[in-house]
Amino acid sequence: MSMDVMWLRSSALEVGVIAYGARIVSVRTPDRDGRWGEVTLGLSDLDAYREAPGYLGASVGRYANRIAGARFTLDGTEYRIPPNEGENALHGGPGGFDSYDWATDGPDGAEVTLRHTSPDGDNGFPGTLAVAATYRVEGPELTIEYTATTDAPTVLSLTNHAYWNLAGGGTAEDHEVQLHAGHVLPVGGDSLPTGPPVPVDGTPLDFRSPARLGARIRDGHPLLVNVRGYDHAYVLEGTAGELRAAARVVEPRTGRTMELRTDQPSVQFYAGNMLNGTLVLRDGRTARQGDAFCLEAQNFPDAPNHPDYPSAVLRPGEEFRSRMVFTFGAE
* Residue 63 is assigned to a structural domain of this protein: yes
* Residue 281 is assigned to a structural domain of this protein: yes
**Residue 108 is labelled as binding a ligand:** no
Which pLDDT tens digit goes with each residue over 199-241?
A: 999 999 999 999 999 999 999 999 999 999 999 999 999 988 9
pLDDT confidence band for 108 (50 / 70 / 90) = confident
* Residue 196 is assigned to a structural domain of this protein: yes
* Residue 162 is assigned to a structural domain of this protein: yes
Which pLDDT tens digit goes with each residue over 53-95?
A: 889 999 999 999 999 999 999 999 999 999 999 999 999 999 9
pLDDT confidence band for 296 (50 / 70 / 90) = very high
* Residue 1 is assigned to a structural domain of this protein: no
Give mean pLDDT, residues 176-200.
97
**Residue 162 is labelled as binding a ligand:** yes
Q: What is d(CA 196, CA 187) in angstroms, rounded to the nearest whole number?
A: 10
Task: Count CB-CB contacts under 10 A for residue 235.
Answer: 22
Which pLDDT tens digit goes with each residue over 318-329?
A: 999 999 999 999
Candidates 38, 251, 259, 296; catalytic one: 296
Q: What is d(CA 301, CA 67) in angstroms, rounded to the nearest whole number?
A: 7
Residue 259 near residue 327, CB atoms below 8 Å:
yes
Q: Any idea what DSSP says for residue 70?
A: G
pLDDT(1) > 60: no
pLDDT(158) > 80: yes
Is 296 catalytic? The answer is yes
Give mean pLDDT, residues 131-158.
98
pLDDT confidence band for 107 (50 / 70 / 90) = confident
pLDDT(105) > 80: yes
Alpha carbon 135 to chain centroid distance? 14
Question: Strand 6-9 and strand 14-18: pairing?
Answer: antiparallel
Number of independent structural domains in the chain: 1
pLDDT(2) > 70: no
Task: Calculate the alpha carbon distances from 165 to 18, 27, 65, 201 in Å.
Answer: 20, 10, 21, 27
Give mean pLDDT, residues 191-202.
97
Stretch among 7-16, 78-87, 106-115, 259-268 having the lowest mean pLDDT: 106-115
Candidates 161, 175, 180, 183; catalytic one: 161
**Residue 175 is labelled as binding a ligand:** no
Task: Count CB-CB contacts under 10 A for residue 30.
Answer: 19
The CATH number of whichever domain residue 200 belongs to comes to: 2.70.98.10
Q: What is d(CA 173, CA 285) in angstroms, rounded to the nearest whole number?
A: 17
Task: Count CB-CB contacts under 10 A for residue 65.
Answer: 28
Q: What range does the domain containing 110 cover?
A: 6-330
**Residue 230 is labelled as binding a ligand:** no
Mean pLDDT taken over the chain: 96
